């Protein structure tokens, strides 16, 4: 029997992936450790190594296939005593990516399952003269764009008498504009008909139907394009929706003076110039968060159902924007690293993140996160917690502001606004406030980070 090579789980959360590229072909001999393919996960493109020795008998999943489930047989390997050519000629064919499924809202008419000629079939003349069949959704509503419905109402046109020229027979603007006016029929006041009115208390259409109507409206009015979601964007959507739905967020905001930290940064960079290392403000904030998490261990936790995980080390996830999404590479032991070590780590992790070359352990895990949009001029924002973590801080831009000095006089200082988001299931508000106070103290008195 040939050896089945299956789609691997390249990370703990991976459920499916894209077989980006085959590096072998049918008939090639492989040994354990040989690179067979490149597989694209939701975060990176990774190499897939052979575990067994043999000859590639048949490739079951074609290069470029998306949405390949973990455990799917992607190739068959002939062993030492097997004929690879016999496997290649056997049953089965390459499995390609499934075509995009039609939107549930743009469903076929309720009677589409009944036997009869397809729309592309040539119909007899007598049939073409029959009254048109208007496509309808499951609840009996006529499938038409909002604009088409409004024009039909204004012209007194019965949509049941109109043949749609849009996708799946959808009635669009041009169809009702060419229809004869005054054909509207009086309808019984059924619940379905009532839902077509402007009653604010009427039941809302299904989400899928609303999405379809939005697309139909765009078709009528606005030039647009539709992009298929990447694996990364799907994962971001799923995880952030999960976070907002399951984790009760509490937000705590502080204003922090940056003058001493920026002065120290200038001194540090002058000293490191010959080494070619440059420390950023964000590097120093990563260390400040790491130290604050150790100082307030009640916030260095993760919520795990009936358990609370307490971390002894502060591994800070740093949000990095990459083409098509967001990734959070981890600065491990941020509390114990020097500023220069953090600067080297963030530079390396950021570069490899943008190239899609991070290993799963370099972006999965972490005990808390930091997201800095100050370099984009954003003054204040709140961040969504990265589950299963229980805390993330959102850093705004440093700017000159009026400030009350220690002696009570009014002056000008460089100040940034920082907001912490905490999972209230795991972190009490008072403990979150202590973390923000510890972070503020470290940033405003940065010598405490090197003492």
Domain residue ranges of the chain, discontinuous segments joined by +: 3-88, 125-221, 233-449
Pick the CATH number of 125-221 from 3.40.190.10, 3.30.300.30, 3.30.70.1140, 4.10.320.10: 4.10.320.10
pLDDT at 116 over 70: no
Q: Does domain 233-449 have CATH number 1.20.120.140?
A: no
| 232's tokens | 């990364």
Neighbours of 192 (CB within 10 A): 14
CA–CA separation, 393 and 289 (whole Å): 9
How much is the pLDDT for 219? 57
- In DSSP notation, 234-274 reads HHHHHHHHHHHHHS-EEEEEEEEE-HHHHHHHHHHHHHHGG
Q: Taking the mean position of all CA atoms in its chain, how far away is CA 420?
A: 22
How much is the pLDDT for 443? 97
Just list the catalytic residues.
424
Question: Taking Cα atoms as reference points, which of 95, 97, 99 lies closest to residue 18?
Answer: 97
CA dist list (Å): 360 to 61, 111, 290, 329, 344: 24, 49, 21, 9, 19
How much is the pLDDT for 220? 56
Neighbours of 430 (CB within 10 A): 8
Q: What is the rounded end-to-end Cα distance, in angstroms, of the chain?
A: 66
CA–CA separation, 76 and 70 (whole Å): 16
SS3 (DSSP) at 324: coil
How much is the pLDDT for 91? 54
Contact 385, 243 (CB under 8 A): yes
pLDDT at 350 over 80: yes
Mean pLDDT of the chain: 80
Fold matches, 3-88 and 125-221:
no
CATH class of the domain defined by 3-88: mainly beta
pLDDT at 363 over 60: yes
Tokens 């190499």: give the residue. 47
How much is the pLDDT for 145? 75
Continuous segment of H or E residues that includes residue 217: helix 207-221
pTM: 0.60
pLDDT at 389 over 80: yes
Average pLDDT score over residue span 87-98: 51
């Amino acid at each position: 029997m040939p050896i089945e090579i299956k789609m691997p789980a390249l990370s703990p959360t991976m459920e499916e992936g894209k077989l980006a590229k085959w590096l072998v072909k049918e008939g090639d001999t492989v040994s354990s450790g040989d690179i067979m393919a490149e597989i694209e996960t939701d975060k990176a493109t990774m190499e897939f190594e052979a575990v067994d020795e043999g000859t590639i008998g048949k490739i079951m999943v074609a290069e470029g296939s998306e949405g390949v489930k973990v455990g799917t047989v992607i190739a068959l390997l002939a062993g030492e005593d097997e004929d690879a050519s016999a496997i290649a000629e056997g049953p089965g064919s390459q499995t390609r990516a499934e075509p995009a499924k039609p939107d549930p809202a743009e469903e076929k008419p309720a009677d589409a399952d009944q036997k009869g000629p397809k729309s592309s079939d040539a119909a007899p003349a007598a049939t073409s003269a029959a009254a048109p069949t208007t496509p309808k959704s499951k609840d009996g509503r006529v499938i038409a764009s909002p604009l088409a419905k409004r024009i039909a109402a204004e012209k007194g046109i019965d949509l049941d008498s109109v043949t749609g020229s849009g996708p799946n027979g959808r009635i669009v603007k041009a169809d009702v504009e060419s229809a004869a006016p005054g054909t509207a029929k009086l309808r019984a006041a059924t619940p379905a008909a009532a839902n077509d009115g402007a009653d604010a208390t009427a039941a809302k259409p299904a989400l899928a139907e609303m999405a379809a109507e939005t697309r139909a409206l765009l078709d009528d009015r606005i030039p647009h394009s539709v992009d298929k979601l990447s694996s990364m964007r799907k994962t971001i959507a799923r995880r952030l929706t999960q976070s907002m739905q399951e984790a009760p967020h509490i937000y705590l905001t502080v204003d922090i003076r940056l003058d001493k930290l920026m002065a120290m940064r200038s001194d540090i960079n002058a000293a490191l110039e010959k080494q070619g290392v440059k420390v950023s403000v964000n590097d120093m904030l990563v260390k400040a968060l790491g130290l604050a998490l150790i100082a307030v261990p009640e916030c260095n936790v993760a919520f795990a159902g009936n358990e609370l995980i307490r971390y002894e080390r502060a591994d800070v996830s740093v949000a990095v924007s990459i083409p098509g999404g967001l990734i959070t590479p981890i600065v491990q032991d941020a509390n114990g690293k020097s500023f220069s070590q953090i600067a080297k780590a963030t530079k390396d992790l950021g570069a490899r993140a943008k190239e899609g070359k991070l290993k799963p352990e370099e972006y999965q895990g972490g005990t808390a996160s930091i997201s800095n949009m100050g370099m984009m001029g954003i003054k204040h924002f709140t961040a969504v917690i990265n589950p299963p973590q229980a805390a993330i801080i959102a850093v705004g831009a440093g700017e000159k502001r009026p400030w009350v000095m220690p002696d009570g006089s009014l002056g000008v200082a460089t100040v940034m606004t920082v907001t912490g988001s905490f999972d209230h299931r795991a972190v009490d508000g008072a403990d979150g406030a202590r973390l923000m106070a510890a972070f503020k103290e470290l940033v405003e008195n940065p010598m405490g980070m090197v003492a």
